[in-house]
Structure 1
Amino acid sequence: MARDVLLGLLVVVAVAGAAPLLIGIYQYLLVGLHAHRHHLDETGPDLPRTAVLIPAWNEADVLATTIHQLMRLDYPRDRLVVVVVDDASTDATGEVLAALAAEHPGMVVHLRREDGGQGKAHTLNHGLRALLADGWMEALLVMDADVVYEPDSLRRMARHLADPEVGAVTAYIKEGSEGGSYLTRFVAYEYVTAQAAARRSQHAIGAIACLAGGAQLHSRANLEALGGQIDTSTLAEDTITTFETQRAGRKVVFEPHAVVWAEEPGDITGLWKQRLRWARGNVQVTRRYKGQWLRPSTVHRLGSVTFALLWFATLLLPVVMITSAAALVALWGLDRDLSTDAFRALWIVNALGFVFTTTFALLLDPSTTRRAWKEAVLFPGVISLFVILHACVPAVFRSAAGAATDLTGIRLGTEGSDLFLLAAYLWVAVCMPASWLAKRIDQAGFRRLAGVLVYVVGYGPILCAVTFAAYVAEARGAEQRWDKTVKTGKVAART
């Protein structure tokens, strides 16, 4: 009896490895609600006096392009001012800004912090204090120094502020590196899933997880209600701002037709540094709002079951992967046939979820589909696709294995087959250290080899490995640093 209970529990834990993908399907189905909950009925021709606030540290290579594009916005020039806070830059940022201010007098303002290096939030607060001390600003657009706005983007965002219940609006950030690497194509596809799809579904349920760091439009009233400053205690100042806005009863809106292009890291080392900061911030936010989860409120939707599912499906994905693999291995030792059934069930569900979410995402953004379809298909990695084939169509796999045996003369035998099966069980968890290995190879300068390994291991496992690294960094109490991602201005040609 006890053995049956144990086996049943192990099967449940093993198959639960598919839960994140099932939640992903649920999230994509919610996207359909966006057609009815898009907030456009409450919008109007609202063109508030808007200050654009840009934190900048050594951004000489990108600022000119960014600001010239802002000057091309389809927005009244007398209702727009760009304030750049120079965070004690040591490159030519000051000279570039001086030239831009002379070229656009009264529209480009240069503020400099002599005591810099404290992070983005401190830099933003320096500019925010100056702007709130003046009564001119009615709305504030917080953006990054390297992002490029399409001409109609600010107007599309600002129309939502016609509704006094809206505190903040965010846009659709797209990866736009001209001549980018294999990794930027992976990021381009990832952003379709994480923004075009995920933020639409969050908007539909009335709970946005995070305003995009490069596109945050706030009403002045919202900023003042937040205390007139950005949180500096975590690595997730944008998420804290998003949560606090909604917890106070103000809406946060996602505007998918306001498109903003960004240059993302072109190598694993840069991506890892960026995403580790984001993942650590999410861990910090989860702890900070521990009393909110699964506690419905009449004021906001952040305590809903649906929002908790969406949030923790990502945050706890490494835990789910490790426990699922461990359960499969335990079943392998206790009941070989049952372990095979659980393994097949897990990967068949994963396969269905992968096909559904990938097809949905590719249809959602055709322009990205044309650019990154290969990366979309290989998002889980060649090995995972091979495991899916083994689980879903074992006959095809056996035929392929037989052909390989005929070709090479190598026959695995029973012991070899068992070891192969065990390796397949473990892959759910082993893909994360394999991703870490790809990062180490990239750091050593073998970037082509690292790129090949990413296609083999998968881009998705890299994100899981980063989240696991965030667990470790937080548990160790590692120094909380805001590591800047180096940008080179490659996004210019995407507009």
Structure 2
Amino acid sequence: MDAILALVCFGLVVLGMVPTAASFAQYLLVGLHGIRNHYARAGSATPRVAFLLPAWNEADVLGTSIDQLMAIDYPAGAWRLYIVDDASTDHTPEVMAGKMAQYPGAVFHLRREKGGQGKAHTLNHGIAQVLADDWAEAVMIMDADVLFEAQTLRRMVRHLADPEVGGVTAYVKEGSQPGGLLTRFIGFEYVTAQAAARRAQNVMGGLACMAGGAQLHSRANLEAIGAAIDTSTLAEDTFTTFRTVLAGRRVLLDPNAVVWAEEPDSVAALWKQRLRWCRGNLQIMRAFAHIWFRPWRNHLLGDWAFGVLWFSVALMPVFMLAGSVGLVGLFELWPSWVLIAFESVWLLTFVSFLFQTLFSFAIDPAEARRSWFEGLAFPGLLALGIMAIALVAPFADLCWLSGAKPTFWGNILAHVILGWSAISTFAAWGIYRLDKAGAPKWLRNLLLVLFGYGPLLCAITFASIVAELRKADAKWDKTVKTGKVKLPRT
């Protein structure tokens, strides 16, 4: 019986390695983007573009966003900006009156008198009005705080010259000024999750999600997917991406098209934002259950590789918990094998971490200069210590880890190290609770550096799984922005 349990534990260890292996494999594809991309089929088209900007009590950032958009490099009269006001209760109407007078015929205020239903409902109000006439040939969906670099629109629309392309997204960068430790963590995360991961997905043939802050649709694509954004999930941008792919059109990232966004500077605000994102991913997983791992139903979304990547992110804490339980179980049941399993897990983690971090720094050198420390501390300094133990393990006598007559404290240390993936995730939840309770920022930052930003994301994902299982209220809850985002000086 013990042998069977030990084999089960070994299987759990292997399962726990899936997200790391999938992420590493995805990064290996990034290098192919230089030869497998869409630029050869792009053109110099400049379609008429309607920008849709949903806003609810965004008066503090609207003026800056509108002024900046009016300065982009695009033919005069070939784009319009529609602010879809979701019954704002601040001074948004006054701001909009001033901006419409400043930019006559280019800026429009579309106000909903009854709001509060969420971003998707607000967007649908705007889409219906924009598509009511034939002026718009493409629609750009964006957020109120997002700032476009001058060439971003041109770089995105060139892909619509290919009729097979239905949607294009930009590389969203964190641009809060002044920034802090948390926003720099997010900045580095965006290099890995967007500049790198979406390049790899381009190589695979399409994206899992067009960024909600900057997604460009051809008019034909919007009409093909019903001329409306899904309102049944918290991930309307991902749902729209999936529907575009299922309608037979490509979606892709142009990594040279850059927009800047303000991200949360508190763990509590980040938790609220990412909980919504993660719950949306789980809802997508359920809504498209008939497609997963069925390539004959869709060559991209149903592909096995795509499915493994999706589930390794959406269910990451499940994999992490499985790995921790497996290692601790081996320590108790089959101690002669636990050191080999430990080395396999953490050496793969180290190689993947080192490769992805250095690759990310090479992809975006400017962000590397800004957030190099956060990139190195992403898994947590304590996790780096465990990687160091794995590196020296082949040359050291780690009897306390191999189960060969460990001392009391050696036994405790072994359990902590072997169960670190689960322990760090629980510790990250504790950091969130401390931050929500008003703990000093220096304490929050110290704990984040020690336990890692990656485990924090894992903890949020775990909370989203619990919320979905409990069928908690799925109300769309916006992230408060303060107007701290600024374009970098060139």
* TM-score, normalised with respect to structure 2: 0.96
Give distance in 1, aligned partners of 2:143 and 2:395: 50
Q: Deviations over 1:441-480 (max 9, x none)?
A: 1111113211211111100011111111111111111111
Give distance in 1, aligned partners of 2:395 and 2:268: 38
Q: Which amino acid aligns with 2:421?
A: V
- Is contact 1:178–1:494 with CA below 8 Å preserved after alignment? no
- Is contact 2:2–2:333 with CA below 8 Å preserved after alignment? no
Partner of residue 437, structure 1: 430
Q: Could you tell me which of 482, 486, 490 is aligned with 1:492?
A: 486
Shift of the 54–370 alpha-carbon distance from structure 1 to 2, 3 Å rule, reads: same
Partner of residue 375, structure 1: 374
Matches within 5 A, 1:76-115: 76-115=75-114
Mark the runs of 5 or more structure 2 residues left unpaired by the alignment: 401-405
Matches within 5 A, 1:395-414: 414=407
- Is contact 1:65–1:492 with CA below 8 Å preserved after alignment? no
* Partner SS for 1:362: helix
Identity across the alignment (%): 52
Q: Deviations over 1:398-429 (max 9, x none)?
A: 89x9xxxxxxxxxxx81111111111111111
Partner of residue 262, structure 1: 261
Give distance in 2, aligned partners of 1:218 and 1:364: 26
Matches within 5 A, 1:218-297: 218-297=217-296
Q: How far has the Cα of 1:5 moved from its partner? A: 4.2
- Is contact 1:246–1:300 with CA below 8 Å preserved after alignment? no
Q: How far has the Cα of 1:341 moved from its partner? A: 2.3
Partner of residue 423, structure 1: 416
* Partner SS for 2:104: coil
Q: Which amino acid aligns with 1:361?
A: S
Q: How far has the Cα of 1:299 moved from its partner? A: 5.5
Q: How far has the Cα of 1:482 moved from its partner? A: 1.1
Give distance in 2, aligned partners of 1:115 and 1:215: 25
Partner of residue 455, structure 2: 461
Give distance in 2, aligned partners of 1:268 and 1:256: 28
* Partner SS for 1:211: coil
Q: Which amino acid aligns with 2:255?
A: P
Q: How far has the Cα of 1:36 moved from its partner? A: 2.2
Matches within 5 A, 1:140-219: 140-219=139-218
Partner of residue 483, structure 1: 477
Partner of residue 406, structure 1: none
Q: Which amino acid aligns with 1:475?
A: L
Give distance in 1, aligned partners of 2:56 and 2:368: 34
Give distance in 1, aligned partners of 2:394 and 2:29: 36
Q: How far has the Cα of 1:382 moved from its partner? A: 1.4
Q: Which amino acid aligns with 1:186?
A: F
Shift of the 178–15 alpha-carbon distance from structure 1 to 2, 3 Å rule, reads: same
Q: Deviations over 1:190-236 (max 9, x none)?
A: 00000001111111111310010011100111111111111001001
- Is contact 2:33–2:203 with CA below 8 Å preserved after alignment? yes
Q: Which amino acid aligns with 2:464?
A: A
Give distance in 2, aligned partners of 1:161 and 1:204: 18
Give distance in 1, aligned partners of 2:128 and 2:202: 30
Deviates more, 1:442-451 or 1:130-139: 442-451
Partner of residue 41, structure 2: 42
* Partner SS for 1:14: helix
* TM-score, normalised with respect to structure 1: 0.95
Matches within 5 A, 1:344-355: 344-355=343-354
Q: How far has the Cα of 1:15 moved from its partner? A: 3.8
- Is contact 2:149–2:487 with CA below 8 Å preserved after alignment? no
Q: Deviations over 1:306-353 (max 9, x none)?
A: 211211121121011111111112112112232222112211111111
Give distance in 1, aligned partners of 2:241 and 2:36: 19
Shift of the 297–154 alpha-carbon distance from structure 1 to 2, 3 Å rule, reads: farther
Matches within 5 A, 1:66-77: 66-77=65-76
Q: Which amino acid aligns with 2:71?
A: R
Q: Which amino acid aligns with 1:372?
A: S
Q: Deviations over 1:163-185 (max 9, x none)?
A: 11111110100001111110000
Give distance in 2, aligned partners of 1:15 and 1:311: 18
Q: Deviations over 1:226-250 (max 9, x none)?
A: 1111100100111110000001111
Shift of the 299–383 alpha-carbon distance from structure 1 to 2, 3 Å rule, reads: closer
* Partner SS for 1:109: strand
Q: How far has the Cα of 1:66 moved from its partner? A: 0.9
* Partner SS for 1:277: helix
Give distance in 2, aligned partners of 1:69 and 1:473: 39
**How many matched pairs?**
483
Q: How far has the Cα of 1:371 moved from its partner? A: 0.3
- Is contact 2:168–2:216 with CA below 8 Å preserved after alignment? yes
Q: Deviations over 1:280-327 (max 9, x none)?
A: 000000011111011113754111112112111211210111111111
- Is contact 1:207–1:300 with CA below 8 Å preserved after alignment? no
* Partner SS for 1:105: coil
- Is contact 1:15–1:345 with CA below 8 Å preserved after alignment? no
- Is contact 1:82–1:108 with CA below 8 Å preserved after alignment? yes
Give distance in 2, aligned partners of 1:330 and 1:146: 48
- Is contact 2:291–2:297 with CA below 8 Å preserved after alignment? no
Q: Which amino acid aligns with 2:115?
A: G
Partner of residue 403, structure 2: none
- Is contact 2:120–2:229 with CA below 8 Å preserved after alignment? yes
Shift of the 298–277 alpha-carbon distance from structure 1 to 2, 3 Å rule, reads: closer
> Runs in 1 of length 4+ with deviation above 3 angstroms?
2-6, 297-300, 394-399
Shift of the 7–299 alpha-carbon distance from structure 1 to 2, 3 Å rule, reads: closer
Give distance in 2, aligned partners of 1:86 and 1:430: 44
Q: Deviations over 1:113-145 (max 9, x none)?
A: 110111000000011111111111100000000
